[in-house]
Amino acid sequence: MERVSRVVCIAALILGLAGLAIPISMNIASVGGRATAHAESATAEVKIDNFTFTPATITVPVGAQVTWTNRDDIPHTVVSDDQAIKSKALDTDDKFTFTFSKTGTYTYFCSLHPKMKGKVVVQ
């Protein structure tokens, strides 16, 4: 499952960079072979390490599930600048998942350590 997620993420990134309107499911099928043919299955991961969101910017298709994992010893949050997305405080190894159902650029930050910023581009 972990491997598939990574493949989807990479596929999404390639799509994003190329600006192609190829359905994401085709890429998954051709590379991973195990994923179902739905865009909803697209996932992406953001790690929180040392007061930093990594990667700071991710590009995903509409319907993608993005999961943040806090790997710090200090709690963090994921809050969009417009406050529409708001996680609870994430303790060490806690996760927060959000499904992006509309295209757009979502900038977010940690409301406890607001110097921590990230961006999700949904295409």
Partner 1 sequence: MSHSTKKDEILHDHNHDGIDRRGFLKCMAWAGTGALCVMQGGVLKSYSLSRLAAIGEKEAKGDLSFVQISDSHMGFNKPANPDVAGTLKAAVDKINALTLPPEFMLHTGDISHLSKAEEFDAVEQILKSAKPKDIFYVPGEHDVLNDEGAQFRQRFSKGSNGAGWYSFEKKGVHFIGLVNVMNLKSGGMGNLGAEQLEWMEKDVKSLSKSMPIVVFAHIPLWSVYPEWGWGTEDSAQALGYLKKFGSVTVLNGHIHQTMQKVEGNVTFHTAASTAFPQPKPGSAPGPGPMKVPDDQLRGLLGVTDVKQAHGQHALAVVDSSLG
Q: Which residues lie near partner 1 (CB under 8 A)?
A: 50-52, 72-75, 81, 88-89, 91-92, 107-109, 111-115, 117
Q: Which is nearer to partner 1, 36 or 54 (CB)?
A: 54
Cβ 64 to partner 1 shortest distance, Å: 22
Q: Which is nearer to partner 1, 6 or 113 (CB)?
A: 113
Cβ 74 to partner 1 shortest distance, Å: 6
Cβ 39 to partner 1 shortest distance, Å: 29
- Which residues, at least 6 apart from 74, have a Cβ–Cβ distance to it below 8 Å? 51, 113
Q: Which is nearer to partner 1, 16 or 75 (CB)?
A: 75
Residue type, position 45, single letter: E
- Contacts by 92-99, CB closer than 8 A, 24 or more apart: 93/69, 94/69, 94/70, 95/67, 95/68, 95/69, 95/70, 96/67, 96/68, 97/65, 97/66, 97/67, 97/68, 98/65, 98/66, 99/40, 99/63, 99/64, 99/65, 99/66
Q: Which is nearer to partner 1, 41 or 111 (CB)?
A: 111
Cβ 11 to partner 1 shortest distance, Å: 29
